[in-house]
Amino acid sequence: MRYSQLFGKTSKSIPSDAESINAKLLTQAGFINKEMSGIYSFLPLGYRVLSKIQQIVREEINLLGGQEILMPVLSSIENWKKTGRDKDWVDVLYRLDNMALNPTHEEVVTPLVQKYTFSYRDLPVAVYQIQEKFRNEPRAKSGLLRGREFNMKDLYSFHKDEKDLNEFYQDAIKAYQSIFNRLGLGKITYLTYASGGSFSKFSHEFQTECVTGEDTIFVCDRCHTAINREIIQEQVMCPDCNSDKLRETKAIEVGNIFKLGTKFTDAFGFSYVDEKGAVKPIIMSCFGLGPSRVMGTLVEVFHDEDGIIWPQSIAPFQIHLVGLAPEAFGVYEQLKKHKLDVLFDDRDDVSAGVKFATADLIGIPIRIVVSKRSIDAGGVEIKNRNSKETSIIPINELDSAILNYGKAR
Amino acid sequence: MRYSQLFGKTSKSIPSDAESINAKLLTQAGFINKEMSGIYSFLPLGYRVLSKIQQIVREEINLLGGQEILMPVLSSIENWKKTGRDKDWVDVLYRLDNMALNPTHEEVVTPLVQKYTFSYRDLPVAVYQIQEKFRNEPRAKSGLLRGREFNMKDLYSFHKDEKDLNEFYQDAIKAYQSIFNRLGLGKITYLTYASGGSFSKFSHEFQTECVTGEDTIFVCDRCHTAINREIIQEQVMCPDCNSDKLRETKAIEVGNIFKLGTKFTDAFGFSYVDEKGAVKPIIMSCFGLGPSRVMGTLVEVFHDEDGIIWPQSIAPFQIHLVGLAPEAFGVYEQLKKHKLDVLFDDRDDVSAGVKFATADLIGIPIRIVVSKRSIDAGGVEIKNRNSKETSIIPINELDSAILNYGKAR
C-alpha cells in the first residue's frame, strides 16, 4: 500500500480529548477515530491490527475445539428476566423496546445450545464468536481499554460433569497462554486468581503488567501466577507454590475465564439425559477476551517517546518502506513480488525527517530505507524498531535477505 | 470436522414459523437459528458460508481499491439531524437515548472521511466495512432476505469531480459482477436500472432472477440488463440497446449502487481545495451488498426437494464424507492431509439413509461415500450434487484424484 493513498494519515497534533496513551497514539498515528465517548471507528491501519489479533485468537480457540458461530447484537429482554440480569446489570444494559443490546451472551447462547443438546452424546459443546458488545459505561475514558461498544471473543462451554469441565478449563488456560505468547504479551501476562462464584472458589483473569493499568495484582514470579487485590485478604500466599514472596504491581485485565456451574443452565431449564437415562444438570464455563482491549493494551505496553512499537505478529504491515530515492519504487515492486505486505511511504512533498517520524509513530518493527546514502553504500538499509540495529543489504541480495528474515522469525 | 461433534444438527421437523424457503431449509439443515423476528444466529455451518461470501466480497472490493475500515453500530443522533434523516428514516431508525443504531453509515463515514481529506491530493478515497446494520422492519418475514439485524458490505467513495466518480462507478459495476460470478449467481443476476435521485437519472441495483423474489424487473436478454418496475413507465426500452423486447420476471435485490452527488457532503460542509486553490464540492457514491441476504438468495435459487445445493465456492465444507464402512476413518485422515476441509459423517447410530438425507439437506456439492459396496468395487464413490454423476476411485488413487478435482475447478 502506498502511504500517499492510505486513508488515515498521521497527525502532529495531540488529540485534546485523549485521556490515555493508547487513545493518543492510536489517534495520532491514524489507527482509530473517536466517534463518541467509548465508541471508536477503526481506520485501515487499525482494522488491520484488530483483524490480526482476532485471527490469532480464532486459530487458538479453534485448536481448543471451539466452534465459531455468530449471535446477534439484539436479544429479547425476556431472556434477561429469566436470569434476573435485567435487574442485576441494569446500570450497563442498553435497552431498546423489548430488547437488549447484548453486553455478554450467556442469555442468548444458553437457550441456543439447549435447542441442539439432548443427551450425553451431544456433550461437551464449546461455541464462540468474535463480535461487538455494548455496555453503558460511565467510565469510558481509557481509549480502547474500556468502551461502550467494543469487540469481544466470547467462548461458552457446556459439560456433563465437573471433571469434563475442569479438563476443558485447563486446556483453555493453555490456549489463552498461546494467544498471549503470539501477541508478544506472554512474558508479562499472568494467570491471576480472582473471586469466584457459588460454583468455584476462584475465577481466573489474565492480567498484563503495565504501569498505566487500572488493576492491582500480586505476582508470584516463581510460578508466573498472580492474585487480584480483591482476594488478597483471603489468599495471602501463591495458590500454586504457597510462596508469600508476592510482588505488588499494576496490570490491565486482558481476559477472564469463569466456571459458571448451573447458574444459567438452571435458569433456562437446560439439562441432559445420561448413559443410564437419568436427567442431569449441565454445567457451563465462559471465556472472554477482548481483541479491541488487547489492541489498546499492546500500545500501553509497547511504545516509546516517538510512537508505537508493534510486535511483528500483529503489525499493520510486515514492512515499512521509507522511500527517499527513486530506487524505492523498484524495491517496492520487488517486495510485493514476495507477497510481502508493505506500507510504502512514496510521498514526494515531505522531508525525510517527516517520513521517519511517521514510521516511528506507526510502529511497524521492520523498516527498509532506500536513500541516496543507502544506494551509495551499496543497497538498502534494514532497521529493526525494537533493537535499533541497522544493516545494509545490496539490492540484488534483497530477495535472499528477505527469505532469511522470514526464517529467523 | 466430525459431524457427530458439529454444533447444529439437521432436523426433520419443518420450523413452524419459517415463512420462506431460505429460512426453512437453513433452519432444518442447522445453518441458522431464529432468535426473534428478522434476527438470526449463525451456527457453525451458517457462519462458514457467511464468512466465505464476505471473503469473496472483501477480495473484489480490495481489488477495486476500497480500503477496509470498521465503523461502530452506535452513532450520535446529531449526525442524523444534519442530514434530516432522523425524520426521513424515522420508521426504520432504532433510537437509543441520543444515539441511533446505524441502518446505513453515510452519517458516520462522511464526517470521518472529512477529517482526513483536505486537498485534491487526498482524493479519491474509497472506504468500506463489513458489519451489522439495524432497521426496524415491519415486514421481517423472509428469513435472511429482510432482517432487522443483518450483515452488510457498504462502500463509500469520495471524488473531486463527476468524471472521476463515473470511472470508479463503472469499475465498481465490474467488481460487483466478479463477486456474483464467483458466488455462482452471475448468469441470473442483472444490472438493473432503478430510480435515481437529484444527482443522476438512474441508480443501479443488482437483481437475481428468482421465482420467490419480491421485486419485478424487465430483462433485456441481449444486454443482460434489466429495468426495475418502479421506472418502467418512464423507461420502456433497454437503456443500453434500445430494444423493446423486455421479459418480465421476479427477482431479489442483492446489491445496489447509487451516485449520491453532494447530498451528504453538503450536509457536513465537506469540500476540498483544488490544484488552483479553489474550494470545490466533493461528490460521493455508495455501494451496498448484503452478505447475509446473498446467503438467503443462494438458498432460494439453489435447492431441490431434498435440500440446499451450494455453489462449491461458498459451501460450508469442500467435501462431505459419508462414512458407511470403517475404511472411512482412513479416508478422512487422507483428505485432511491434503488440507481439505471435510465434513465427515462418522455417526454410528443412524442408517445410511439418514446420512444421505443429511448430506442432501446440507448441500455440499462434492460428496465422497465410503461403503462396503464402494470398497468391494475397489475404492470410494465420488458424487457431484449438481450433476448427480458418480464415479468409483480406488483408495490408492484418491490423492491424485483429489488433485485433479482441484485443477478441474
Cβ–Cβ gap A70/B47 under 8 Å: yes
Residue type, position A350, single letter: V
- Which of B35, B67, B121 is facing A75, going by the closest CB pair? B35
Pair B270, B328 in one domain: no
| Residue A391 within any structural domain of the chain | yes
pLDDT of residue A11: 85
pLDDT of residue A405: 64
Residue B199 binned pLDDT confidence (cut-offs 50, 70, 90) = confident
H/E stretch holding A19 reads none
CA dist A389 to A370, A385, B307, Å?
16, 8, 61
Pair B254, B367 in one domain: no
Interval A184-214: pLDDT, tens: 999 999 999 999 877 888 999 999 999 999 9
pLDDT exceeds cutoff 70 at A322? yes
Percent of chain B topping pLDDT 70: 98
Last residue of a domain, one of A304, A328, A361: A304
- Contacts of residue B113 in chain A, CB cutoff 8 Å? 7
pLDDT exceeds cutoff 60 at B364? yes
pLDDT of residue B94: 97
pLDDT of residue B389: 78
Pair A251, A294 in one domain: yes
Pair A333, A292 in one domain: no
Average pLDDT over residues B280-306: 97
The enclosing domain of A349 has a CATH number of 3.40.50.800
Pair B229, B155 in one domain: yes
The enclosing domain of A17 has a CATH number of 3.30.930.10
Helices (H) and strands (E) in chain B, counts: 12, 23
Copy the grid coordinates of residue A276.
443410564
Residue B182 binned pLDDT confidence (cut-offs 50, 70, 90) = very high
Classify B212 in phi/psi space as left (phi over 0), alpha (psi -120 to 50) or beta.
alpha
User: Which range marks the domain in which residue B107 is found?
Assistant: 15-304
Q: What is the ipTM of this complex?
A: 0.96
- Contacts of residue A116 in chain B, CB cutoff 8 Å? 7-9, 30
| Residue A238 within any structural domain of the chain | yes
Average pLDDT over residues A351-365: 96
pLDDT of residue B409: 47
- Which of A41, A96, A115 is facing B94, going by the closest CB pair? A96
| Residue B253 within any structural domain of the chain | yes
H/E stretch holding B164 reads helix B162-182
Pair A281, A325 in one domain: no
Pair B200, B327 in one domain: no
Percent of chain A topping pLDDT 90: 86
Interface test with B, best of A69, A94, A118, A156 (most B CBs within 10 A): A69
Cβ–Cβ gap A47/B68 under 8 Å: yes
Pair B342, B375 in one domain: yes
Pair A243, A368 in one domain: no
What is the CA B392 to chain-centroid distance, rounded? 35
Cβ–Cβ gap B72/A30 under 8 Å: no
Pair B47, B87 in one domain: yes
Last residue of a domain, one of A274, A304, A334: A304
Pair A225, A120 in one domain: yes
Average pLDDT, chain B: 94
pLDDT of residue A334: 93
Average pLDDT, chain A: 94
> What does the DSSP 8-state code read for residue A242?
-
CA atoms within 13 A on the CB side of B68: 20
| Nearest alpha carbon to residue A49 among A365, A397, A373 | A365
Pair A208, A339 in one domain: no
Interval B119-160: pLDDT, tens: 999 999 999 999 999 999 887 789 999 999 999 999 999 999
pLDDT exceeds cutoff 60 at B380? yes
Residue B407 binned pLDDT confidence (cut-offs 50, 70, 90) = low
| Nearest alpha carbon to residue B132 among B373, B349, B293, B372 | B293
**Global confidence as pTM:** 0.97
| Residue A6 within any structural domain of the chain | no
Cβ–Cβ gap B7/A69 under 8 Å: yes
The neighbouring-strand residues paired with A128 are A68, A155
What's the total number of domains in chain A? 2
